[in-house]
Amino acid sequence: MKILYCKKCLMPNSRPRIEFDDNQICNACRHSDDKYLNIDWKKRKEEFLQLIEPFRSNNGSWDCIVPWSGGKDSSSIAHKLKFKFGMNPLLVTFSPQLPTEIGNLNREEMIQAGFDHIFFRPNQKIHRHLSRRFFIERGNQKIAWDAGVNTIPIQVALKFQIPLIFYAEHGESEYGGRVLDETSGKMRNFTEVLEHQIGDDPRNWVDDVVTFTDLSPYIYPDINDISKAGVTAFYFSYFFKWSMLENYEYIKSKINFHTHPGGRTLGTITNFDSLDDKSDNLYYYMQFIKFGFGRAIRDISRTIQNNQMTREKGFELAIKYDGEYPDEYLDDMLDYLSLGIDEFNDIIDKHRNPEIWKKENDEWMLRYPLE
Ligand SMILES: [Zn+2]
């Protein structure tokens, strides 16, 4: 398959579930046209205000949950819910694999600003084992983490009987993917989550180290129990025009939000995104290995879609930064995965997609570089 790049942003058609139209424009770009030209945001805000009203707590209990990393997106949502709209959110974090100092500082800033928080840290013997196993088998050490980050806020919603959850953006419509129907950009479809984000059933992860009971943090509650408890989850991006740059500007104006101390996050152009997990450098690098695009192309495409950069400028920056080798925090990562550097590099190469990569003069090259 020849890799094509969207003519408006930089996204390649190797991104899972992305669709290109006849003019080679991706569906994320088409969605952004909607966002800037067609959607009546005043009306959406009114819809939001009507939606939250019946959930509003009048006895001091929490009235909504925000799955919260402490990053700019989830923090700006939580901040608006509490201080702009008078809700009483409970923030729920599934621990990063290797928490960074900046991530800890930013979470602390928010808690000090006036939020209640539950921080869930899974059994590390099991979590590390699964990370290592999935890195070797699937080239993604965050598969169990992804399951946990989806599962824990729902488990908390059921346990604490908090029926309203606010997620940030609907990735499938915002960034290109399969949008099941009109409501899926507004309400979280729990079946879609199970299909797309977890990919497989954690119950199948039992092995010689992991027992069934070890898997509780990863097993999504039964869909029937969720609907019986009346738990519904909405995407903030449906009600308010989504922009990661604007979220950053917003939260920076509210708290002392710390950015990457090096001035730029590895593999991309920003210094304010995904700061909380040392594991993310490898995660995005493996996307590059498997699909041929890294974090810079992802972030730049979003920036172009929000009319905050031209494609020409974005192209120049993507050539410079996309697919940088994850040498920042590399020792922590090797230690975490219990791998030596040679073994680690061999596993990376094993996951190179031959449709995307070729070897020339002993060097890996993209078959279809960005154009
Ligand atoms: Zn595009």
Flag whether 18 is in a domain: no
- Rounded to an integer, the average pLDDT of 265-284 is 92
| CA–CA gap between residue 189 and residue 300 (Å, rounded) | 28
Residue of 265, 305, 367, 295 lying closest to 169 (CA atoms): 305
- Give 21 Cα–ligand 1 centroid separation in angstroms: 10
Gap between the Cα atoms of 332 and 287, Å rounded = 20
Overall number of domains in the chain: 2
Two structure tokens written together for 128: 């590390």
Q: What is the pLDDT of residue 1?
A: 80
Residue length of the chain: 371
As a dihedral over the C-alpha atoms of residue 75, residue 101, residue 99, residue 125, rounded to 10 degrees, the angle is: -150
Cα 52 to ligand 1 centroid, rounded to whole Å: 33
When pLDDT is averaged across residues 243-267 and rounded to a whole number, the result is: 92
Residue 309 CA, ligand 1 centroid: distance in Å: 13
pLDDT tens track for 298-308: 999 999 998 99
Q: What is the pLDDT of residue 189?
A: 85
190 C-alpha to ligand 1 centroid (Å): 27
Instruction: Report CA(29)–ligand 1 centroid distance (Å).
Output: 4
- Interval between CA 184 and ligand 1 midpoint (Å): 20
Beta-bridge mates of residue 364: 359
Summary mean pLDDT of the chain: 93
pLDDT given at position 358: 96
pLDDT in tens, 112-145: 999 999 999 999 999 999 999 999 999 999 999 9
pLDDT class for 71, splitting at 50, 70, 90? very high
In the predicted model, is pLDDT for residue 46 greater than 60?
A: yes
Band of pLDDT at residue 185, cut at 50, 70 and 90: confident
Distance 9 CA to ligand 1 centre (A): 4
Same structural domain for residues 189 and 282?
A: no
* Domain assignment present for 307: yes
Amino acid at 247: N
Q: Are residues 218 and 298 in the same domain?
A: no
Query: What is the distance between the alpha carbons of residues 120 and 347, in angstroms, rounded to a whole number?
Result: 30
Asked if 220 and 283 sit in the same domain, the reply is no
231-244 exposure pattern, b = at least 16 Cβ within 10 A, e = fewer: bbbbbbbbbbebbb
Report CA(176)–ligand 1 centroid distance (Å): 8
**Ligand 1 centroid from CA 154, angstroms:** 32
Q: What is the mean pLDDT of residues 212-235?
A: 95
Residue 32 lies in a domain: no
CA of 26 to the centre of ligand 1 (A): 4
Look at residue 41 in the predicted model and tell me its pLDDT.
94
Residue 163 has pLDDT above 60, yes or no: yes
Q: What φ, ψ does residue 76 adopt, rounded to 5°?
A: -70, -35
CA of 7 to the centre of ligand 1 (A): 6
Tell whether 195 and 334 lie within a shared domain: no
Q: Is the pLDDT of residue 44 over 70?
A: yes
Q: Is residue 12 part of a domain?
A: no
The boundaries of the domain holding residue 307 are 261-366
Work out the pLDDT band at 35, boundaries 50, 70, 90.
confident
What is the mean pLDDT of the segment spanning 354-358? 95
pLDDT for 78 equals: 98
Q: How far is the CA of 165 from the centre of ligand 1 (A)?
A: 29
Same domain membership, residue 74 and residue 182: yes
How far, in Å, from the CA of 275 to the mean position of ligand 1? 25
Q: Look up residue 277 and give its DSSP letter.
A: B
pLDDT at residue 99 in the model: 97
Domain boundary at 239, 270, 291, which?
A: 239
- Look at residue 156 in the predicted model and tell me its pLDDT: 98
In the reported structure, the alpha carbon of residue 301 is separated from the centroid of ligand 1 by a whole-number distance in angstroms of 7
Centre of ligand 1 from the C-alpha of residue 178, in Å: 14
The structure's pTM equals 0.93
Distance 4 CA to ligand 1 centre (A): 11
Task: Tell me how far the alpha carbon of residue 269 lies from the centroid of ligand 1, in angstroms.
Answer: 18
Please indicate whether residue 106 or residue 174 has the higher confidence score (pLDDT): 106
**Helical segments of the chain, H only:** 27-33, 41-52, 72-79, 101-114, 124-138, 143-160, 171-174, 190-193, 223-228, 236-239, 244-254, 280-291, 295-305, 311-321, 330-337, 341-350
Specify the range with the lowest mean pLDDT, choosing from 59-68, 73-82, 268-277: 268-277
CATH number, domain containing residue 210: 3.40.50
How many angstroms is it from 292 CA to the middle of ligand 1? 16
Say how far apart CA 109 and CA 114 lie, in whole Å.
9
- Give the Å distance between the CA of 330 and the centre of ligand 1: 32
What is the pLDDT averaged over residues 136-155? 96
Does 195 have pLDDT greater than 90?
A: no
Q: Which of 204, 239, 274 is the last residue of a domain?
A: 239
Residue 217 CA to residue 244 CA, distance in Å, equals 29
Summarised one tens digit per residue, pLDDT across range 313-342 is 999 999 999 999 999 999 999 999 999 999
> 299 and 207 in one domain?
no
Shared-domain flag, residues 286 and 224:
no
Q: To which residue do tokens 């020849």 refer? A: 2
Asked, for residue 245, whether it belongs to a domain, the answer is no
The answer on pLDDT for 197 being more than 80 is: no
Mean pLDDT score, 171-186: 73
Say whether pLDDT at 198 is over 60.
Answer: no
DSSP 194: I
pLDDT, one tens digit per residue, over 76-103 is 999 999 999 999 999 999 999 999 999 9
Does residue 178 carry a pLDDT above 80? no
